[in-house]
Structure 1
Amino acid sequence: MRHRALPLLVAALLAPGAAARAVTLETLTLERPEGPRTVLLAEPAAGAPGLHPLVIVLHGHGGSARQMLGRGPGKSPLSLWLDRVDRDGLVIVAPDGLRGGDGKPGWNDCRRDARTKPPVDDVGLIGEVIDRAVAEHDADPARVYLIGMSNGGMMAFRAAIELGPRLAAFATVGASMAADSLCPAPTHPLPVLVMAGTADPLVPYAGGAIGHGHRGTVIGVEA
C-alpha cells in the first residue's frame, strides 16, 4: 500500500463547509450474526441525479458514529463530511462498533495482541454496509471510500486487506498497522492517505505499544 494524496478525501477534510441545508442522519439497523448493528447514513437531497460516491467513516476506540459526525459530545474533524453531502453528492455512512473487553465500543482490527477488541466480524459488517448503500441509496460501487480514526483507522487497514477490490481508496487518522497481525499481507494495491502525529501519545509514530491497558502493538507509520 502506498501513501499518496487522495483528492476527494483531502478536499473534504480541508475545505470549509458550505451546506445548503441541515443534513438529516438516518438510523439503519443491520441484522448480523452477533446481533443488530446500528449505522448512521446521510445522503444527497431527494432528486440528486446519478450514482454517488460512498464514504464510510469509522470512529475510534470508545467513540461512536454520532460523535464522529458531530452529533455527539466533543468535536470531530471528520464531521466535515456532512458539509459535503449535497455539495459533492456523497453518501456518508458511519457504523457503530461493539463493546470489547474493556467495555468500550471498538473494532476487530488486525491486532492479535489487543485484549480490548470485540470478537465480531467487522469486515463482514463493512461489506454489508457497502451492499446496502449500493442497493438502496444509489451509492456507486466503483467509488467506495473508507476513512477511520485511531482504532477505526486500524479497522480501515484490515478492511483494505480483506475488501481491497471493493474499495477505491482509504485513509487513516492517528492509526498504524498491527505489529503482531492476524491478517494476511495486502495483495490488492490501493491509494491510501495516512495522517499521523509524531507526538501522538496513544499510537506511537515510530511503533510500539498503544496507549494504556493491553491494546496491542503497531509498526511505525513509515515502516
Structure 2
Amino acid sequence: MALLLRLCTIAAFAIIIAAPSAHACSRDTACKVANGTYFIALPEASRRPPPAIMFLHGYGGSGKGTFRNRALIDALLERGYAVIAPDGSRRPDRDALSWSFHPKFPQMRDESAFLVSVRDAAIAEHGLDPDRIILSGFSVGGSMVSYLACARPDAFDAYAPVGGNFWRPHPTKCAGPVRMLHTHGWTDGTVPLEGRVLRGADSRDPNALIQGDIFHAMDIWRQTNACHFLKADGFDTDGPFWHRRWERCAPESALELALFPGGHRVPADWADMAINWFEAL
C-alpha cells in the first residue's frame, strides 16, 4: 500500500509539473515545433473543444505581431475561436519573415509540412476541434494559404485568404476541390486585383516578378471545384462586403469572393463575415 501511495504521489507530481509546460506557450510565448514556432490564444467561451483560425502574417510580420491587431483577434476570440499565428521563414538575404512558396525562389523550408505540423501540435496540446480549423492569412500570407490549398486541399477544413492569392506564373492545376472565401480590397494598390510587376521591365519580361491576377485565381478555383458556370450563382451587395458565390460546384466544396471598398488591409467586420461563411457551410 505504501508503495502504491508513493507511485500515485509521484504520478500526481509529474502531472502537476507537466501540465503548465504543455500550455506554457501563448500569444506572448512561442510554441515550438519542428522547423519553426507559433503563437496561440484560446477563447474564454465554454465551448470545447474550440474551433480555430490559423492566421498567416504578411511580409515582414510575425506570429506574435499578428496579435497586435486587437480588433481582429478579439473578434475571433469572442466568437469562440482559438487563434493560431505561426512564424514565417527567413531568407538568408533578408531580415524579414515571409512564406516560401514562389517557384522562382528557393524553398527555405517545406511550408505546407510546417503548417500541418503546427495544426497537429495545436490540436494535441491545446484541445482544439480537429474538424473545424480554418487556414487564413493576409497579403503574402494569403498567397501561402492559396498555395497550400492547391497542393493539399484536405489539410484544413476551409481556406480564407485576404489580400493575396496566386502569383505569376499561375498554377495550371490544383489537387482537388476546396472550401474557399477570398477577400480583397477594391482599391488595393499593394496587391491590386490585376496584380503588378514588382521586379522587371514590364509584364512581358520573362524574368519579371509579378503578382497574380485575382480574377484568374478565381477561375482556377472554379475549375478546381468543378463549378458548372463561369458566372456566379449568387450575389450580395448589402453591408460592407460585395459577395459573389459559385454554388453549382463539386459536392462539399464552396467558393466565394468578397470585395470591400478599401485598400490593402484586413477590413473591419472580416472576422464575423468569415466565421458566418464558415459556419453556414
Displacement after TM superposition at 1:184 (Å): 6.6
- 2:178 equivalent in structure 1: 190
Hey, what does 1:167 align to over in structure 2? 156
User: What TM-score, normalized to structure 2?
Assistant: 0.58
**Matched-pair contact (CA < 8 Å) for 2:76–2:83:** no
Question: C-alpha distance in 2, partners of 1:174/1:215?
Answer: 21
Structure 1 segments of 4 or more deviating over 6 A? Answer: none
Deviation of the 1:118 alpha carbon? 5.7
CA offsets, 1:114-136, max 9 Å, x none?
x5x76211111110011112212
Task: Classify the secondary structure of the residue corresponding to 1:125.
Answer: helix
CA-atom RMSD, angstroms?
Answer: 2.6
Give 3-state SS (helix, strand or coil) of 1:141's partner.
coil
Task: Report matched runs for 1:1-223 at 5 Å.
Answer: 25=27, 26-32=29-35, 37-45=36-44, 48-70=46-68, 76=69, 79-85=71-77, 87-100=78-91, 101-109=93-101, 111-113=102-104, 115=105, 119-181=108-170, 185-210=173-198, 216-223=209-216
Q: Percent identity at matched positions?
A: 25
| Alignment check: 8 A CA contact 2:89 2:108 kept | no
Matched residue pairs, number?
Answer: 183
Q: Secondary structure at the match of 2:30?
A: strand
Residue 188 of structure 1: CA displacement? 2.4
Considering fraction of residues, name the structure with more strand: 1
Is the CA contact (8 Å cut-off) linking 2:63 and 2:86 kept in structure 1? Answer: yes
User: Any idea what the Cα deviations from partners look like across 1:183-204, whole Å, max 9, x if unmatched?
Assistant: 6722322222212234323223
CA distance in 2, matches of 1:171, 1:218: 18
The higher radius of gyration belongs to 2
Q: Higher RCO, 1 or 2 (CA under 8 Å, sep at least 6)?
A: 1
Contact conserved, 2:144 with 2:165, CA < 8 A, in 1?
no
Match of 1:19 in 2: none
The one-letter code sitting in structure 1 at the alignment partner of 2:108 is: P
Greater helix share, structure number = 2
